[in-house]
Structure 1
Amino acid sequence: MNWKSVLEKSLICLLLLFFLFIGWVFARFIILLMVGQRFYLRFADAAACTLAVFIVLWVFAFVRAKVTNLLFVTCLIAGLSAVSVYEYNRHARDSLATVNEQGVDLRVYQPFGSNTKAVSLDEPSTLKLAADMPRLDGATALYPLYAAFARAVYPEKEYDFRNSEVMCTTTADAYSNLLEGKADMIFAAAPSKQQLEAARSKGIELKLTPIGREAFVFFVNSRNTVQGLSKAQLQGIYTGDIRDWSEVGGSPGRIRAFQRPENSGSQSMLQRWMEDKPLMTPPKEDIAAGMGEIIDHTAVYRNYEQAIGYSFLFFATQMIQQGEIRLLEVDGIAPNRSTIQNGHYPLAAEFYAITTSSSNPNVAPLLQWILSPQGQSLVEKTGYTPL
């Protein structure tokens, strides 16, 4: 045995493996920073391990070069095929219709934006504020409404929805801003148990003033043959007791029951409506956060043929306007303005202007105006059901 040759080959092998390790670390960093899919992290790990094996085989020639090269080409083809299949499936998934609060362009509803979609009064407002405007925040679905309130009552200027007297940070953050004194009035569904507990821990009383009514709706892919479900069936789906569409009169197929993030308005509504029945674990998606930490998020609703999701009527039909989903009847009643108004739709609920003991002197006058005929007319013109 030529020990000198073995030593030389070992040093070459170690050097090549070192460079491979550096390349692997760099590849993972780039994947986390630029791509974010867990598939590519696993692919990079598998590719690095495979290359390490082939480096050893090439350097020490444990197997004939022709055999080693053939194996390498086979692995290369397999890897490229895996990437192709993954990208095809990802493209197909991303092309699906989604219902996602983050996908709404709120700029089109800013109170005084050019060509704003925020509705306006047909007459001068009986309330006009020139100073001490209450800081407003709230749910994405209600931003068009309280932007219309601001359009009628507040001085004309730019109100950036990200940071101004009229902002929109979504339900969970709006409740946090109210409790931290960063907002004087928020517009949202009733608080979750966690939000109520957070208020109690700070010694804060949340004052909920109903200002309108809205339907909590469930929707499916438009090709789904199921037209409606009973309350018991919907609860069974979200506890996991009902897992296949064939159990509720549909075509056979596993039900993909999507949920919203904790403390969002629609998730809090679902939890109340479930009447303490335990929710099943929702579908998860692995996404990259920041500089590379992989975390699990509740999956955004994607319109798979076997999917079911939920939201509020105005958001699902006006802000999203996604024609590839169909709203379900509940207990034989379709969700619409008429069935909300007459009380027949079983999942209609009030939404609120929520305040605390703010020192802002204009909170009470604004709240009183929202309940006035003018304020309620904006509720109706926006697309909600007035009290």
Structure 2
Amino acid sequence: MNPNAGRHLVALLLMIILLFIGFVSWFIIALTTSSALLGISTLVFFILLIIGVILWSLKRVKIKYLLFALLGISLSYAAIFVGYEVHRSYIANIPTINDGEVDLREYQPFREGTKVVLLNEESLLTLTTQDSLPRIDGATALYPLYSAFVRATYPQKEYNLYNSEVNGGTTPEAFRRLIEGEVDIIFCAAPSKKQIEEAKEMGKTFNLTPIGREAFVFFVNKENPVRDITCDQIRQIYSGKITNWRDVGGKNEAIKAFQRPEGSGSQSMLERIMGDTPLMKPLQNDRVGGMGGIIDRTAQYKNFSNAIGYTFLFFATGMVKNEQIALLKVDGVYPDRNTIANNTYPFVGDFYAITTDTKNENVERFIEWILSPQGQYLVEKTGYTPINKE
């Protein structure tokens, strides 16, 4: 019998075990992180272990030297892993500005202690349980407003955020549900070109009724010295032509320009601001999805010292209330109620009650009431600018 057979058999078993553990480790890391360095380091670590086993089986290296080498490799990998976890923890603790920060349950219409604005008199429109209640949905930032409409006019009961006549979702999902006939009205900013095309493909046309006005704002980390920016500079930043804060009066630091997911109300607004200027590819996070494919997702805003982001005024100041950011003046004008009302702030737009081909007879009554003094009172008291404010 070959005296080395036992050594080769042990080596073979060790390599099989290492291959299995290495593949499982790489797969878990790929699913749970977006770090290419950690994934590559894991592969290299196990490859070096397997090479070491092969050299041992061929008697090309003494066991004590092999053990020292493996110890060094293991310590190096451990240092990389610990460094990654420390960095990930640091990144995770940087404040964000995104829809997930807001607990919409706090704005449910009949929740005890709800944050929605209450009408200061009896509503002139009352929809009873015998009526066909309009099914509604809308943008996250507008949920506090249309929840206030519901509080004033709908029968009192619990309206589940995700499965009732009054849903609290996101702009892309609201448009999808409206197109597919799952809801009668949505409250959103104007649809994107893609959403208009999707509606046409289904044989539907959006009917937009302006119900209020809002400012589209840009913000930076409060430690960023830049406080004023021009319309043209914004377009150059988001087209990728301006890449350093020093070019707009700030520090010598690369600009990290975050965007929102396609189809969101704020992303559609940015696209309208850009006009014919091409929008650069957004910052992305990637993750391995089903069947091993890479899924790219638009990175959510992280309040790095060199970051810039955007949203709507009420969302930033009324719902999120993040004290670590600073809103920017645009062309010397600060976004607030007054500059929205007098149209001096350059990025002001209407938001709408949007319908398609609903047959619900109460939809028209509901929209008419929203445009009445009572509905516009709730628009203003919630934190928006009424459409008919003089």
Partner of 1:49: 47
User: Tell me, what secondary structure is at the counterpart of 1:376?
Assistant: helix
1:210 and 1:26 map into 2 onto residues whose CA distance is 54
In structure 2, list runs of 5 or more residues that go unmatched: none
1:23 and 1:385 map into 2 onto residues whose CA distance is 60
| Paired amino acid for 2:379 | V
Alignment of 1:109-124 (within 5 A): 109-124=107-122
| Paired amino acid for 1:247 | D
Note the C-alpha offset of 1:48: 2.1
1:292 and 1:156 map into 2 onto residues whose CA distance is 48
Partner of 1:275: 275
Structure 1 residue ranges (4+ consecutive) displaced by more than 6 angstroms after TM superposition? none
Deviations for 1:335-378, whole angstroms, at most 9, x for unmatched residues? 01111011110001100110011011111000100100000000
| Paired amino acid for 1:156 | Q
Partner of 1:255: 255
1:220 and 1:79 map into 2 onto residues whose CA distance is 37
Note the C-alpha offset of 1:32: 5.4
8 Å contact from structure 1 (residues 218, 311) kept in 2: yes
Note the C-alpha offset of 1:293: 5.3
Note the C-alpha offset of 1:41: 3.6
8 Å contact from structure 2 (residues 110, 157) kept in 1: yes
Deviations for 1:276-330, whole angstroms, at most 9, x for unmatched residues? 2111112111245579754211110001111100000011111111100000000
8 Å contact from structure 1 (residues 29, 292) kept in 2: no
Equivalenced residues, count: 384
Partner of 1:206: 206
1:292–1:97: structure 2 CA closer, same or farther, 3 Å change rule? farther
1:197 equivalent in alignment to 2:194: no
1:11 equivalent in alignment to 2:3: no
Alignment of 1:153-164 (within 5 A): 153-164=153-164
1:314 equivalent in alignment to 2:317: no
| Paired amino acid for 2:77 | G
Deviations for 1:206-259, whole angstroms, at most 9, x for unmatched residues? 000000000000000000011110000010000000010011111100000000
| Paired amino acid for 1:118 | V
Deviations for 1:13-51, whole angstroms, at most 9, x for unmatched residues? 222111222223333454456x34445443432332222
8 Å contact from structure 2 (residues 34, 286) kept in 1: yes
Partner of 1:304: 304
1:233 equivalent in alignment to 2:212: no
User: Tell me, what secondary structure is at the counterpart of 1:169?
Assistant: coil
1:60 equivalent in alignment to 2:58: yes
1:289–1:381: structure 2 CA closer, same or farther, 3 Å change rule? farther
2:5 and 2:211 map into 1 onto residues whose CA distance is 81
1:287–1:109: structure 2 CA closer, same or farther, 3 Å change rule? farther
1:169 and 1:278 map into 2 onto residues whose CA distance is 29
8 Å contact from structure 2 (residues 42, 77) kept in 1: no
2:292 and 2:362 map into 1 onto residues whose CA distance is 45
**RMSD, aligned α-carbons:** 1.7
- Pairing partner for 1:98 from 96, 99, 102: 96
2:271 and 2:104 map into 1 onto residues whose CA distance is 27
Taking structure 1 as the reference length, the TM-score comes to 0.95
In structure 1, list runs of 5 or more residues that go unmatched: none
2:14 and 2:68 map into 1 onto residues whose CA distance is 21
- Pairing partner for 2:71 from 70, 73, 88: 73
| Paired amino acid for 2:280 | M
User: Tell me, what secondary structure is at the counterpart of 1:182?
Assistant: coil
Partner of 1:84: 82
Alignment of 1:280-291 (within 5 A): 280-287=280-287, 289=289
1:361 and 1:304 map into 2 onto residues whose CA distance is 49
8 Å contact from structure 1 (residues 380, 386) kept in 2: yes
1:305 and 1:375 map into 2 onto residues whose CA distance is 40
More deviation, 291-300/326-335: 291-300
User: Tell me, what secondary structure is at the counterpart of 2:285?
Assistant: strand
Q: Percent identity?
A: 48
Taking structure 2 as the reference length, the TM-score comes to 0.94
Note the C-alpha offset of 1:188: 0.5
User: Tell me, what secondary structure is at the counterpart of 2:209?
Assistant: strand
8 Å contact from structure 1 (residues 38, 286) kept in 2: no
1:125 and 1:367 map into 2 onto residues whose CA distance is 14
8 Å contact from structure 1 (residues 32, 292) kept in 2: no
Note the C-alpha offset of 1:168: 1.9
Deviations for 1:51-84, whole angstroms, at most 9, x for unmatched residues? 2122223333312223222221211121111112
8 Å contact from structure 1 (residues 211, 350) kept in 2: yes
Partner of 2:175: 175
8 Å contact from structure 2 (residues 188, 353) kept in 1: yes
1:141 and 1:372 map into 2 onto residues whose CA distance is 22
More deviation, 259-268/81-90: 81-90
User: Tell me, what secondary structure is at the counterpart of 1:241?
Assistant: coil
1:162 and 1:276 map into 2 onto residues whose CA distance is 37
User: Tell me, what secondary structure is at the counterpart of 1:350?
Assistant: strand
8 Å contact from structure 1 (residues 36, 292) kept in 2: no
Note the C-alpha offset of 1:163: 1.3
Note the C-alpha offset of 1:383: 0.5
1:330 equivalent in alignment to 2:330: yes
Partner of 1:266: 266
1:286–1:20: structure 2 CA closer, same or farther, 3 Å change rule? same
